[in-house]
């Protein structure tokens, strides 16, 4: 047991060391770089799964469900802690899975499209792991910035005017949001005198009434910073173009970035403003609920209006964010549990979708392939976007279009939330939670805003189905010029893998729901988190 | 002193916000820099304003903590400054790349009509 505690730092240290090592390897040795990066990401995945098992097997599942790790062995409120609970472990595994899939995808050609792809990718994974594991607000800021700095580089990967232009908007908006983050953090520090999340939850009770407004202002400003990352309407206009502009494997991993915002909002709102927070209980919930609904409505119209498939995928990310924010805003354990299932399912789906879009668009644009052929015929050293030595990377698959079509159909089913895939289970779990909030049979009935949210969630699924059918028919059934795209095995394998995981989620739906229910229950009982970090005495002080 | 600091933060923030709403990329980068100075001062002020108080206890650890300045915001400011530097440098590179690729220093890459 002793050594396994140190597993907690592995998801942060491993990508950091790998990313730094990769800087030392010369750019011309792609294969070596790719192998090192792939091995490290595979190890990260193994470590995350082990951590998830650890989080799930904590003795006395109802008592202490979080493990903390004091970095450099300083005691908890004074130094930075890493905290593992079921939610953090789930997010970690999700990030590692999508990281691995998009890295495999990038090996076909994208990783050679510019310098330092693998290092940036590893730093991004490090930042994500750190943001999920940290138990300290300022440390969270640092990991956020690590993630964002790496994401700026990755978004520009492959260059081009469109990428640089949307990259400029993306960087400017995120820098401004980071400043809001700092203002929020320092206001909270100024009032409460601590940055440790668990300690903060304890000290909130002692904040005098005249300072409470400052604290609320700090929390609200902090919340805005995360809402920008999560893409809540009206803070989300940068998102579809930035995600569309990024290279396919990069936008796949970016899907996890929006979920970091959702994760932090979920964690902080329930830890700080949960049921034990007195007057502050439920602070910000209304904003998230209505903002989430507005996001779903906006993104649904965006999905219907999108011409390009990349933009359609970008708006699907927003639909998923909006639904999750509304679920968090409901503040009920059953809804959050369904929401977590939805989070996993929709993240896997949209990541697979972004990768699929690039493959499918090869079938739509005959010009691009023609250009590649002429380049080869004239013996030019193909541009950075072209498949130069693809014969060595993999074989060209026969019937590529059929496989792409099946994957596209699966993505449509998942986005729409139709059975038999996990999108249906996720939405069903969430809607059950929403409708049973006060009990179906109670005389008070179901409030109108719940009906509105239920309608929006279902309508967004319908819109996704319509939009996907429209572009699917245009691409697979009635193409103007039938072109069989050249698809490599390494490119389609990650997509199939992610979709197979969704299928696995459906088959193992019961176990998954049990896990998310336990995660949601421990989130709604902050004393277990506090006890895990600070020890039993402090937790009792909160319960009092 | 409180008033001076508050006015300084206010002026920096106001100018910064005005500048990041302007259409030129150079104005954007200066605006973000001004905003980050304002935020750094703000973090600093959250440790309460103290004059002539050291943030570090003596070597023997003696002394009343009330006589010392809060060291945490100072450490935070240092981190924030470093991160701000790095991201501003990165933004500058992107600005130059955008200028080269689009031939314009407008944030949208083309002049609005």
CA distance A41 to chain B (A): 26
Write out the H or E segment, with its range, that includes residue A254: helix A248-272
Q: How many CB pairs under 8 A join A and B?
A: 84
Q: ipTM for the complex? A: 0.91
Give yes or no for A287 touching B (CB within 8 A). no
Interchain proximity A189–B80, CB inside 8 Å: no
Interchain proximity A171–B76, CB inside 8 Å: no
CA A126/CA A146 separation, integer angstroms: 8
Highest mean pLDDT among A1-10, A120-129, A303-312: A120-129
Centroid of chain to Cα A324: 11
Assigned CATH topology for domain B2-48+70-102: Helix Hairpins (1.10.287)
Task: Compute φ and ψ for A81, nearest 5 degrees.
Answer: -115, 150
Res. A161: pLDDT tops 70: yes
Which residues in chain B have their CB less than 8 angstroms from residue A182's CB? 39, 42-43, 80
Interchain proximity A175–B83, CB inside 8 Å: no
pLDDT attached to residue A382: 42
Q: Which of A132-136, A160-164, A366-370, A402-406 has the lowest mean pLDDT?
A: A366-370
Task: List, for chain B, all residue ranges whose pLDDT scores fall below the cut of 70.
Answer: 57-59, 61, 112-113
**For chain A, what is the mean pLDDT?**
81
Give yes or no for B46 touching A (CB within 8 A). yes
Give yes or no for A148 touching B (CB within 8 A). yes
> Which tokens hold the place of B60?
């023997």
Of A339, A323, A276, A342, the residue nearest A459 (C-alpha): A323
Q: CA-nearest residue of chain A to B105?
A: A165
Dihedral of CA atoms A325, A326, A329, A334 in degrees, nearest 10, equals: -100
Interchain proximity A149–B90, CB inside 8 Å: yes
CA A315/CA A295 separation, integer angstroms: 10
Give yes or no for A165 touching B (CB within 8 A). yes
Interchain proximity A149–B86, CB inside 8 Å: yes
Give yes or no for B31 touching A (CB within 8 A). no
Q: Which of A90-104, A241-255, A475-489 has the lowest mean pLDDT?
A: A475-489
Give yes or no for B42 touching A (CB within 8 A). yes
**Domain boundaries, given as residue ranges, for chain B:** 2-48+70-102
pTM of the model: 0.86
Which residues in chain A have their CB less than 8 angstroms from residue B101's CB? 159-161, 164-165
Q: Do the Cβ atoms of A322 and A350 come closer than 8 Å?
A: no
Q: CA-nearest residue of chain A to B71?
A: A193
pLDDT attached to residue B13: 94
């Amino acid at each position: 047991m002793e050594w396994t505690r140190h597993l907690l730092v592995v998801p942060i240290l491993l990508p950091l060391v790998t990313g730094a090592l990769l800087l030392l390897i010369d750019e011309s040795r792609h294969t070596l770089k790719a192998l090192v990066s792939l091995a490290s990401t595979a190890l990260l995945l193994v470590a995350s799964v082990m951590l998830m098992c650890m989080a799930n097997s904590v003795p006395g599942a109802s008592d202490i469900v979080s493990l903390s790790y004091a970095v450099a062995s300083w005691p908890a409120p004074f130094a930075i802690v890493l905290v593992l609970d079921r939610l953090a472990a789930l997010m970690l595994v999700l990030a590692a899975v999508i990281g691995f899939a998009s890295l495999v995808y990038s090996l076909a050609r994208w990783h050679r499209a510019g310098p330092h792809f693998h290092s940036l990718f590893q730093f991004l994974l490090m930042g994500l792991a750190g943001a999920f594991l940290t138990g300290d607000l300022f440390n969270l800021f640092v990991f956020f910035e690590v993630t964002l700095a790496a994401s700026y580089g990755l978004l520009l990967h492959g260059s081009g005017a469109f990428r640089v232009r949307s990259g400029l908007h993306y960087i400017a908006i995120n820098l401004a949001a980071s400043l809001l983050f700092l203002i929020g953090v320092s206001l909270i520090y100024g009032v409460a005198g601590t940055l440790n999340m668990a300690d903060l939850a304890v000290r909130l009770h002692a904040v005098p009434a005249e300072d409470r407004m400052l604290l609320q202002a700090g929390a609200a400003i902090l919340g805005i910073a995360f809402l920008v990352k999560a893409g809540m309407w009206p803070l989300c206009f940068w998102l579809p173009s930035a995600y569309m502009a990024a290279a396919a494997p990069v936008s796949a991993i970016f899907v996890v970035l929006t979920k970091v915002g959702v994760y932090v909002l979920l964690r902080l709102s329930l830890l700080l403003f949960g049921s034990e927070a007195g007057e502050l209980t439920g602070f910000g919930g209304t904003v998230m609920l209505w903002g989430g609904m507005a996001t779903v409505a906006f993104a649904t119209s965006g999905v219907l209006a999108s011409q390009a498939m990349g933009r359609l995928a970008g708006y699907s990310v927003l639909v998923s964010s909006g639904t999750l924010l509304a679920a968090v805003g409901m503040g009920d354990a059953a809804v959050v549990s369904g929401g977590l299932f939805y989070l996993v399912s929709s993240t896997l789906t949209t990541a697979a979708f972004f990768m699929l879009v690039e493959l499918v668009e090869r079938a739509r644009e005959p010009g691009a392939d023609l250009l590649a052929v002429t380049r080869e015929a004239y013996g030019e050293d193909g541009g950075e976007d072209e498949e130069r030595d693809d014969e060595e990377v993999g074989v060209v698959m026969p019937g590529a279009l059929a496989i792409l079509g099946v994957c596209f159909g699966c993505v449509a089913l998942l986005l729409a939330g139709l059975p038999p895939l996990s999108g249906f289970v996720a939405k069903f779990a969430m809607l059950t939670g929403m409708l049973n909030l006060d009990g179906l049979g109670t005389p008070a009935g179901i409030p109108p805003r719940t009906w509105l949210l239920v309608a929006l969630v279902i309508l967004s699924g319908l819109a996704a189905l319509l939009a996907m059918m429209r572009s699917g028919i245009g691409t697979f059934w009635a193409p103007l010029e039938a072109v069989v795209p050249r698809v490599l095995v390494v490119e389609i394998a990650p997509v199939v893998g992610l979709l197979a995981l969704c299928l696995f989620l459906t088959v193992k739906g019961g176990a998954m729901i049990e896990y998310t229910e336990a995660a949601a229950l421990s989130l709604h009982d902050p004393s277990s988190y506090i006890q895990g970090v600070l020890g039993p005495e402090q937790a009792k002080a909160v319960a009092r | 002193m409180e008033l001076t600091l508050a006015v300084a933060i206010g002026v920096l923030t106001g100018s910064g916000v005005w500048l990041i709403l302007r259409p030129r990329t150079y104005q954007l980068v200066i605006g973000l820099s001004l905003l980050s100075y304002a935020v750094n001062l703000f973090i600093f002020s959250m440790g309460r304003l103290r004059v002539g108080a050291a943030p570090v206890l003596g070597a023997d650890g003696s002394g009343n903590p009330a006589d010392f300045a809060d060291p945490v915001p100072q450490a935070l400011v240092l981190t924030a400054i470093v991160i701000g530097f790095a991201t501003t440098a990165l933004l500058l590179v992107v600005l130059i790349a955008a200028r080269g690729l689009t031939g314009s220093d407008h944030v949208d890459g083309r002049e609005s009509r």
